[in-house]
Chains A and B, each alone.
Chain A
Protein backbone atom coordinates (compact mmCIF):
# COMPACT_ATOMS: atom_id res chain seq x y z
CA UNK A 1 0.00 0.00 0.00
CA UNK A 2 1.23 3.47 -0.88
CA UNK A 3 0.53 6.56 1.20
CA UNK A 4 -1.55 8.13 -1.58
CA UNK A 5 -5.25 8.28 -0.81
CA UNK A 6 -8.14 9.34 -3.01
CA UNK A 7 -11.78 10.16 -2.46
CA UNK A 8 -14.40 9.22 -3.28
CA UNK A 9 -13.79 5.66 -4.49
CA UNK A 10 -16.78 5.68 -6.83
CA UNK A 11 -18.95 8.42 -8.28
CA UNK A 12 -21.91 8.60 -10.63
CA UNK A 13 -22.73 11.85 -12.41
CA UNK A 14 -24.89 12.90 -15.33
CA UNK A 15 -23.73 14.58 -18.50
CA UNK A 16 -23.16 18.31 -18.08
CA UNK A 17 -22.52 18.16 -14.34
CA UNK A 18 -19.29 19.10 -12.60
CA UNK A 19 -17.16 16.83 -10.39
CA UNK A 20 -14.32 17.30 -7.90
CA UNK A 21 -11.97 14.45 -7.04
CA UNK A 22 -9.53 14.63 -4.14
CA UNK A 23 -6.09 13.24 -3.44
CA UNK A 24 -3.69 13.23 -0.50
CA UNK A 25 -0.09 12.77 -1.48
CA UNK A 26 2.42 10.49 0.16
CA UNK A 27 4.14 12.25 3.03
CA UNK A 28 7.09 14.35 1.84
CA UNK A 29 6.11 14.28 -1.82
CA UNK A 30 5.84 17.72 -3.43
CA UNK A 31 4.61 16.77 -6.90
CA UNK A 32 1.19 15.43 -7.76
CA UNK A 33 -0.04 14.20 -11.11
CA UNK A 34 -3.42 13.08 -12.35
CA UNK A 35 -4.08 10.33 -14.88
CA UNK A 36 -7.20 9.14 -16.66
CA UNK A 37 -7.52 5.41 -17.33
CA UNK A 38 -10.35 4.48 -19.64
CA UNK A 39 -11.57 0.90 -19.58
CA UNK A 40 -9.07 -1.47 -21.19
CA UNK A 41 -6.43 1.20 -21.73
CA UNK A 42 -3.28 2.47 -20.07
CA UNK A 43 -3.40 5.62 -17.96
CA UNK A 44 -3.13 8.93 -19.80
CA UNK A 45 -1.40 11.95 -18.24
CA UNK A 46 -3.78 14.81 -17.51
CA UNK A 47 -1.52 17.28 -15.69
CA UNK A 48 1.06 17.71 -12.99
CA UNK A 49 1.34 20.18 -10.12
CA UNK A 50 4.50 21.29 -8.38
CA UNK A 51 4.62 24.00 -5.72
CA UNK A 52 0.93 24.70 -6.30
CA UNK A 53 1.44 25.52 -9.99
CA UNK A 54 0.48 23.48 -12.99
CA UNK A 55 3.72 22.18 -14.43
CA UNK A 56 2.85 20.15 -17.46
CA UNK A 57 -0.38 19.16 -19.16
CA UNK A 58 -1.41 16.34 -21.40
CA UNK A 59 -3.89 16.41 -24.25
CA UNK A 60 -6.95 17.28 -22.18
CA UNK A 61 -9.31 20.26 -22.65
CA UNK A 62 -9.45 23.22 -20.25
CA UNK A 63 -12.58 21.87 -18.58
CA UNK A 64 -10.14 19.60 -16.76
CA UNK A 65 -8.53 21.73 -14.07
CA UNK A 66 -6.75 21.18 -10.82
CA UNK A 67 -5.39 22.59 -7.62
CA UNK A 68 -2.51 21.72 -5.34
CA UNK A 69 -2.62 22.94 -1.77
CA UNK A 70 0.26 23.94 0.56
CA UNK A 71 0.07 20.54 2.25
CA UNK A 72 0.55 19.00 -1.24
CA UNK A 73 -2.95 17.54 -1.39
CA UNK A 74 -4.73 18.07 -4.67
CA UNK A 75 -8.06 18.30 -6.45
CA UNK A 76 -9.09 17.43 -9.98
CA UNK A 77 -12.11 19.30 -11.29
CA UNK A 78 -13.97 18.38 -14.43
CA UNK A 79 -16.68 20.68 -15.77
CA UNK A 80 -19.40 19.96 -18.29
CA UNK A 81 -19.02 16.21 -17.96
CA UNK A 82 -19.24 14.10 -21.08
CA UNK A 83 -19.99 10.42 -21.42
CA UNK A 84 -16.37 9.78 -22.49
CA UNK A 85 -15.15 11.14 -19.17
CA UNK A 86 -16.21 7.86 -17.60
CA UNK A 87 -12.94 6.35 -16.40
CA UNK A 88 -10.71 5.55 -13.46
CA UNK A 89 -8.92 8.71 -12.30
CA UNK A 90 -5.57 8.08 -10.69
CA UNK A 91 -3.60 10.44 -8.52
CA UNK A 92 0.15 9.99 -8.31
CA UNK A 93 2.70 11.62 -6.04
CA UNK A 94 6.44 11.92 -6.28
CA UNK A 95 9.37 13.95 -5.03
CA UNK A 96 10.71 16.07 -7.84
CA UNK A 97 14.39 15.83 -8.67
CA UNK A 98 14.92 12.93 -6.30
CA UNK A 99 14.99 10.30 -9.01
CA UNK A 100 12.55 8.41 -6.88
CA UNK A 101 9.51 6.58 -8.10
CA UNK A 102 5.96 7.75 -8.54
CA UNK A 103 3.35 6.25 -6.26
CA UNK A 104 -0.26 5.89 -7.29
CA UNK A 105 -3.43 6.00 -5.28
CA UNK A 106 -6.23 3.45 -5.72
CA UNK A 107 -8.20 5.74 -7.99
CA UNK A 108 -11.70 7.17 -8.24
CA UNK A 109 -14.01 5.42 -10.66
CA UNK A 110 -16.28 7.97 -12.35
CA UNK A 111 -19.35 6.97 -14.33
CA UNK A 112 -21.08 9.61 -16.41
CA UNK A 113 -24.63 8.81 -17.48
Chain B
Protein backbone atom coordinates (compact mmCIF):
# COMPACT_ATOMS: atom_id res chain seq x y z
CA UNK B 1 0.00 0.00 0.00
CA UNK B 2 1.13 3.50 -0.72
CA UNK B 3 1.37 6.20 1.90
CA UNK B 4 2.84 9.61 2.61
CA UNK B 5 4.23 10.98 5.84
CA UNK B 6 4.40 14.69 6.50
CA UNK B 7 7.18 15.21 8.96
CA UNK B 8 5.98 18.48 10.50
CA UNK B 9 2.47 19.22 11.70
CA UNK B 10 3.24 22.94 12.11
CA UNK B 11 5.81 25.18 10.43
CA UNK B 12 6.25 28.87 11.20
CA UNK B 13 8.34 31.22 9.05
CA UNK B 14 8.80 34.95 8.75
CA UNK B 15 7.58 36.75 5.65
CA UNK B 16 10.32 36.84 3.02
CA UNK B 17 12.17 33.78 4.35
CA UNK B 18 12.29 30.35 2.67
CA UNK B 19 9.64 27.71 3.19
CA UNK B 20 10.37 23.98 3.50
CA UNK B 21 7.57 21.49 4.06
CA UNK B 22 8.77 17.90 4.29
CA UNK B 23 7.12 14.79 2.90
CA UNK B 24 8.29 11.20 2.63
CA UNK B 25 6.46 8.61 0.58
CA UNK B 26 6.17 4.86 0.54
CA UNK B 27 5.39 3.15 -2.74
CA UNK B 28 6.16 -0.15 -4.38
CA UNK B 29 6.40 1.48 -7.79
CA UNK B 30 6.98 4.90 -9.31
CA UNK B 31 4.35 7.07 -7.65
CA UNK B 32 2.32 10.05 -8.75
CA UNK B 33 2.78 12.67 -6.05
CA UNK B 34 1.03 15.95 -5.44
CA UNK B 35 0.96 18.90 -3.11
CA UNK B 36 -2.41 20.49 -2.34
CA UNK B 37 -3.10 23.63 -0.31
CA UNK B 38 -6.20 24.36 1.72
CA UNK B 39 -6.92 27.88 2.90
CA UNK B 40 -9.40 28.33 5.76
CA UNK B 41 -12.96 27.64 4.67
CA UNK B 42 -11.79 26.97 1.13
CA UNK B 43 -11.51 23.84 -0.96
CA UNK B 44 -8.30 22.05 -1.86
CA UNK B 45 -6.17 23.62 -4.56
CA UNK B 46 -3.54 21.73 -6.53
CA UNK B 47 -0.10 23.30 -6.16
CA UNK B 48 1.92 20.89 -8.24
CA UNK B 49 2.16 17.35 -9.51
CA UNK B 50 4.95 14.85 -10.12
CA UNK B 51 4.46 12.02 -12.60
CA UNK B 52 8.04 11.00 -13.47
CA UNK B 53 8.60 13.48 -16.30
CA UNK B 54 11.07 15.60 -14.33
CA UNK B 55 12.31 15.35 -10.78
CA UNK B 56 12.03 19.08 -10.09
CA UNK B 57 8.44 20.19 -10.39
CA UNK B 58 7.37 23.81 -10.50
CA UNK B 59 3.94 24.74 -9.30
CA UNK B 60 1.80 27.78 -8.80
CA UNK B 61 2.58 30.78 -6.59
CA UNK B 62 6.35 30.15 -6.69
CA UNK B 63 6.26 26.72 -5.06
CA UNK B 64 8.33 23.82 -6.27
CA UNK B 65 9.08 20.28 -5.13
CA UNK B 66 11.87 17.83 -5.85
CA UNK B 67 11.31 14.11 -6.18
CA UNK B 68 14.23 12.18 -4.66
CA UNK B 69 13.87 8.46 -5.14
CA UNK B 70 16.95 7.61 -3.09
CA UNK B 71 15.48 9.43 -0.11
CA UNK B 72 11.81 8.64 -0.89
CA UNK B 73 11.10 12.31 -0.37
CA UNK B 74 9.02 14.97 -2.09
CA UNK B 75 9.64 18.16 -0.12
CA UNK B 76 7.85 21.40 -0.97
CA UNK B 77 9.83 24.63 -1.07
CA UNK B 78 9.40 28.31 -1.79
CA UNK B 79 12.25 30.83 -1.77
CA UNK B 80 10.34 33.64 -0.07
CA UNK B 81 7.18 33.28 2.00
CA UNK B 82 4.26 35.63 1.60
CA UNK B 83 1.54 36.29 4.14
CA UNK B 84 -0.99 34.77 1.74
CA UNK B 85 0.87 31.44 1.90
CA UNK B 86 -0.48 30.79 5.39
CA UNK B 87 -2.61 27.67 4.99
CA UNK B 88 -2.63 23.90 5.43
CA UNK B 89 -0.57 21.92 2.98
CA UNK B 90 -1.14 18.29 2.10
CA UNK B 91 1.28 15.87 0.49
CA UNK B 92 -0.66 13.33 -1.56
CA UNK B 93 0.07 10.10 -3.42
CA UNK B 94 -2.19 8.67 -6.10
CA UNK B 95 -3.07 5.00 -5.93
CA UNK B 96 -4.24 3.34 -9.09
CA UNK B 97 -7.62 1.68 -8.64
CA UNK B 98 -8.67 -0.84 -11.21
CA UNK B 99 -9.02 0.65 -14.64
CA UNK B 100 -9.55 4.14 -13.30
CA UNK B 101 -6.95 5.94 -11.26
CA UNK B 102 -7.10 8.84 -8.87
CA UNK B 103 -7.68 7.43 -5.43
CA UNK B 104 -5.73 10.04 -3.52
CA UNK B 105 -4.07 9.22 -0.22
CA UNK B 106 -3.44 12.31 1.88
CA UNK B 107 -0.87 13.00 4.50
CA UNK B 108 -1.93 14.45 7.82
CA UNK B 109 -1.14 17.98 6.71
CA UNK B 110 1.30 20.73 7.66
CA UNK B 111 -0.06 24.01 8.93
CA UNK B 112 2.10 26.86 7.67
CA UNK B 113 2.10 30.09 9.64
CA UNK B 114 3.75 33.19 8.18
CA UNK B 115 4.78 35.89 10.64
CA UNK B 116 5.03 39.53 9.54
User: Which of A's residues lie within 8 Å of B, judged by CB?
Assistant: 2, 4, 31, 33, 35, 41-45, 48, 50, 55-56, 58, 90, 92, 94, 96-97, 99, 101-107
Contact = CB atoms under 8 A, between A and B. Distances in A.
28 contacts: A2-B45, A31-B100, A31-B102, A42-B107, A43-B90, A43-B104, A43-B106, A48-B100, A48-B103, A55-B98, A55-B99, A55-B100, A56-B98, A56-B100, A90-B43, A90-B44, A92-B44, A92-B104, A96-B99, A96-B101, A97-B100, A101-B34, A101-B46, A103-B46, A104-B36, A104-B44, A106-B42, A107-B43
A101 B49 contact: yes
Contacts, number: 68
Interface residues of B, number: 23
B17 interface: no
